[in-house]
A and B are shown apart, each in its own frame.
Chain A
């Protein structure tokens, strides 16, 4: 009797039996799922069924009538969202979306194909809400809702970053983000959320921001940025907080206030406003532009978002500027006005510096800072020295939401081209509306999920690697606070040597303040490059021939 060959042995022990997707149960392996939401966090928002539980446990301590709750919830949402009905009915399983998901590309798990992710919900919909599904069952892709299915939902709907890339390619515009949003709503009806979402929403509800910074701490963090600016530029900036009568309320993602490298972006905002003498105020109550409610339910999204208009009204500002953040802008652009508008206390936004009317924000009355800054540059209102960014060879990562739920593509590029002299876009099928997700969006950024994040981020990192090898790119610019947190580890693993910066950090470096002293370092304390003189002119990304200077 001969021993099996090593190859066979391995095959026997490792290859899973081939089963149809309906019969392949989900396995919770470390590194690919997020810790469950704590009961305390759920209680802050009065969310249902707060309890201690873990996805790894056999028993999820579901309420006895959980099935009814989910099905009733689904019925209700079918009546409320035409999108859901159409996305449940219209898919022909053509497979066009299959290889468009960054998680599928990086992991190879077939259930990460958008079509299958949606089928997880669709199969239950068919069983319960269509005649064919009730009569024919599996023939038409219908299956009963049971705990196994529920666990599968939890696993895979918290493995979708709601980036909408698949929706670009779908001939019917089916948007997996929409399906994930609603599936997560259903899970939340049973108290099934993840900690990295549940704790920030609880914090945000109570203290105004995700981290739970109390008002004085928030001010303290901003003061820290002010000190740093003084160190670099010699200019003292005095931002105000909760000041009534300011013309403009500025709301940034709180990540920019406390997290590295987001704080450099925040310094950029402050320097910009100082340079143009803007009459604005920050708010400790509305100290968070981000909104993890989007990753929980429409209702929580609305509850958290309400603060922005309420605070704008209380302070009596004319309009609002929002900082660089991806999902924050999905909420502000596509939901805020509908949910908490109309913003009657505000006025149609007009730039006090250039007089430009932001007609595209006429109703919502909130302007993206990139729109605001691009307009300033266009009108020559900023004094810029792009050579201060000469040590940076920059590429730009389009964040999912500003790209596919807004279309903010050329404004940040225009700014970068004016504040940097070495800018190179990544290959065309990885940018703009085709951009790849960072892999950590929609609340999937905790460290216990790191391996999944690295997998999902591979397509993005791969394109960065290409421009790094081709042009010597050493800086990945972005307009999203989650990106600023998620991309550094991603780069560290896949493309070492590439740093991550917000667009307004680059603005801050290049911006010449009216009263500034001689600068010797950039905002991060790195020495400024020696004046090179020769090379590309302002805004000419193609002409930069010099190799990038990299610090040790």
Chain B
């Protein structure tokens, strides 16, 4: 059901953009909405990260995934149980760049009875990596539209990515990968009962949105060619705050642009902020130097404790009788055993 709603919503968004383009609302679709979306994205993301960052980290609670640094002759896990800032940076970097924790998830081997069967469980990790890296490369490639002159690395990236030639134009590997990966992530959500059980409409929606964005992009590039010069004119106009609306851009392009705008608006207010969350996660971004350096809790407040004096007051008689030293043989102590009796 959740999936249906999300799908319907995505289709509706596509139709709105299509109708808008047909009705001559290019100004709205090509200028007003992208600006509003960009503004919401930036503002929302800043608001979100500031909100996170403003909350203190009262305790140092790293999840340790390897040997601690203790005695000098025991080798410690410098990355999985970091004791230095460098180790922490490496740990977070591995999480961000390679999804290290997700990789742990799975193992190659499996034994069942006498047979040895190989079973690969790393698909989530592979698909996750492929998906995010492809998105990143595609995003970087799009810099071509927003910069003049185009930075050299964009060209290199395009060269590497577009290694295969199809119909006289380069087929970008990432275009294929992102579509395959997003499809996998979607199917996984639908087909694995335990994942489907925990899935919300809010989990399907961004998948559909990204499918729509990637799909429209692929269509424009390989099937219904878009006027690249016009697109660049529009994009440069947007980023230089001199918006223009070149003629000849198809409805497909506006659908693409509109879905991207929706994604930008949706981003800061949804789980998509997980990207920023990973950097701030206290179980990953703190060194396990708990006993070496005192961590300060900014809101540490005094609490009521049961003091030794109260304790001795209550049990003095018993303590004296048992020969346990006491601070003072007070009035309640009638037993004449010396208060200070050392055990040895």
Q: Which A residues fall within an 8 A CB radius of B?
A: 20-21, 46, 78-86, 89-96, 98-99, 110, 113, 115-116, 119, 130-132, 138-141, 164, 167-175, 178, 205-208, 214-216, 219-220, 238-244, 284-285, 298-299, 302-303, 306-307, 310-311, 314, 333-335, 337-339, 341-342, 356, 358-366, 371, 374-375, 378, 403-411, 414, 429, 432-433
Nearest-Cβ distance from residue A114 to partner chain B, whole angstroms: 10
Residues A433 and B65 in contact, CB atoms below 8 Å apart: yes
Residues B200 and A411 in contact, CB atoms below 8 Å apart: no
Which residue of A83, A207, A356, A409 contacts B67 across the interface (Cβ within 8 Å)?
A409
Query: Can you sample 17 A-B contacts with CB below 8 Å?
Result: A84-B55, A85-B55, A92-B274, A95-B194, A95-B198, A139-B5, A169-B102, A172-B277, A178-B283, A215-B315, A242-B325, A310-B308, A334-B290, A360-B292, A364-B291, A407-B77, A407-B288
Closest residue of B by beta carbon distance from A86: B277
A219/B65 contact (C-beta < 8 A), A139-B200, A374-B71 known: no
Residues B280 and A86 in contact, CB atoms below 8 Å apart: yes
Closest residue of B by beta carbon distance from A110: B197
Residues A89 and B288 in contact, CB atoms below 8 Å apart: no
Q: Which of the four size classes fits the interface of chain B? A: 35 or more
A90/B56 contact (C-beta < 8 A), A80-B299, A240-B343 known: no
Residues B63 and A175 in contact, CB atoms below 8 Å apart: yes
B221 CB-CB contact with A under 8 Å: no
Q: What's the dominant secondary structure at chain A's contact region?
A: helix
Residues A89 and B342 in contact, CB atoms below 8 Å apart: no
B147 CB-CB contact with A under 8 Å: no
Docked Cα-Cα span, A358 to B69, in Å, equals 10
Residues A404 and B64 in contact, CB atoms below 8 Å apart: yes
Docked Cα-Cα span, A338 to B293, in Å, equals 10
B43 CB-CB contact with A under 8 Å: no
A82/B55 contact (C-beta < 8 A), A404-B64, A405-B64 known: yes
Which residue of B63, B200, B281, B305 contacts A90 across the interface (Cβ within 8 Å)?
B281
Which A residues are in CB contact (< 8 Å) with B107? 429
Q: Which 7 A-B residue pairs are closest in the complex by CB-CB distance?
A: A407-B68, A90-B277, A240-B343, A216-B322, A364-B291, A173-B283, A173-B284
Which A residues are in CB contact (< 8 Å) with B69? 360, 407
Stretch at the interface among B237-245, B254-262, B265-273: B265-273
Residues A333 and B199 in contact, CB atoms below 8 Å apart: no
A240/B344 contact (C-beta < 8 A), A169-B105, A214-B318 known: yes
Docked Cα-Cα span, A178 to B69, in Å, equals 24
Task: Name the residue among A141, A175, A311, A407 with the largest chain B CB count within 10 angstroms.
Answer: A407
- Beyond the given A85-B51, A171-B95, A307-B305, please list 8 additional residue pairs across the A-B interface where CB-CB is below 8 A: A83-B281, A110-B194, A215-B324, A240-B343, A303-B304, A337-B294, A338-B295, A407-B67
A85/B52 contact (C-beta < 8 A), A173-B63, A238-B343, A338-B295 known: yes
Nearest-Cβ distance from residue B50 to partner chain A, whole angstroms: 11
Residues B291 and A78 in contact, CB atoms below 8 Å apart: no
Residues A362 and B292 in contact, CB atoms below 8 Å apart: yes
Docked Cα-Cα span, A410 to B308, in Å, equals 37
Closest residue of A by beta carbon distance from B76: A407
Residues B101 and A406 in contact, CB atoms below 8 Å apart: no
Closest residue of A by beta carbon distance from B70: A360
Which B residues are in CB contact (< 8 Å) with A132? 202, 269-270
A94/B124 contact (C-beta < 8 A), A171-B101, A241-B343, A411-B70 known: yes
Which residue of A82, A115, A138, A342 contacts B294 across the interface (Cβ within 8 Å)?
A342
Docked Cα-Cα span, A95 to B288, in Å, equals 27
Docked Cα-Cα span, A116 to B193, in Å, equals 13
Q: Which B residues fall within an 8 A CB radius of A?
A: 2, 5, 48, 51-53, 55-71, 73-77, 80-81, 83, 95, 99, 101-102, 104-105, 107, 124, 128, 188, 192, 194-195, 197-203, 269-271, 273-274, 277-278, 280-284, 288-297, 299-300, 303-308, 311-312, 314-315, 318-319, 321-326, 342-344
Residues B70 and A371 in contact, CB atoms below 8 Å apart: yes
Residues B194 and A169 in contact, CB atoms below 8 Å apart: no
Residues A406 and B271 in contact, CB atoms below 8 Å apart: no
Which B residues are in CB contact (< 8 Å) with A363? 291-294
Residues B324 and A406 in contact, CB atoms below 8 Å apart: no
Which B residues are in CB contact (< 8 Å) with A298? 58
Which residue of A80, A164, A173, A241 contacts B324 across the interface (Cβ within 8 Å)?
A241
Closest residue of A by beta carbon distance from B68: A407
Residues A93 and B294 in contact, CB atoms below 8 Å apart: no
Docked Cα-Cα span, A93 to B272, in Å, equals 11
Which B residues are in CB contact (< 8 Å) with A314? 308
Which residue of B59, B280, B321 contacts A216 across the interface (Cβ within 8 Å)?
B321
Which A residues are in CB contact (< 8 Å) with B293? 362-363
Which A residues are in CB contact (< 8 Å) with B76? 407
Which residue of B58, B124, B199, B318 contacts A215 across the interface (Cβ within 8 Å)?
B318
Task: Name the residue among B55, B64, B195, B300 with the largest chain A CB count within 10 angstroms.
Answer: B64
Residues A175 and B297 in contact, CB atoms below 8 Å apart: no
Residues B56 and A82 in contact, CB atoms below 8 Å apart: yes
Nearest-Cβ distance from residue B230 to partner chain A, whole angstroms: 36
Which residue of A82, A175, A414 contacts B57 across the interface (Cβ within 8 Å)?
A82
Residues B71 and A378 in contact, CB atoms below 8 Å apart: yes
Nearest-Cβ distance from residue A357 to partner chain B, whole angstroms: 10
Residues B290 and A333 in contact, CB atoms below 8 Å apart: yes
Residues A216 and B65 in contact, CB atoms below 8 Å apart: no
Nearest-Cβ distance from residue A439 to partner chain B, whole angstroms: 20
Docked Cα-Cα span, A208 to B312, in Å, equals 11
Nearest-Cβ distance from residue B268 to partner chain A, whole angstroms: 10
Residues B342 and A240 in contact, CB atoms below 8 Å apart: yes
Which A residues are in CB contact (< 8 Å) with B81? 407
Residues B318 and A169 in contact, CB atoms below 8 Å apart: no
Docked Cα-Cα span, A363 to B52, in Å, equals 29
Residues B318 and A141 in contact, CB atoms below 8 Å apart: no
Residues B71 and A178 in contact, CB atoms below 8 Å apart: no
Closest residue of B by beta carbon distance from A357: B72
Closest residue of A by beta carbon distance from B95: A171
Residues A205 and B306 in contact, CB atoms below 8 Å apart: yes
Which residue of B2, B188, B199, B300 contacts A338 across the interface (Cβ within 8 Å)?
B300
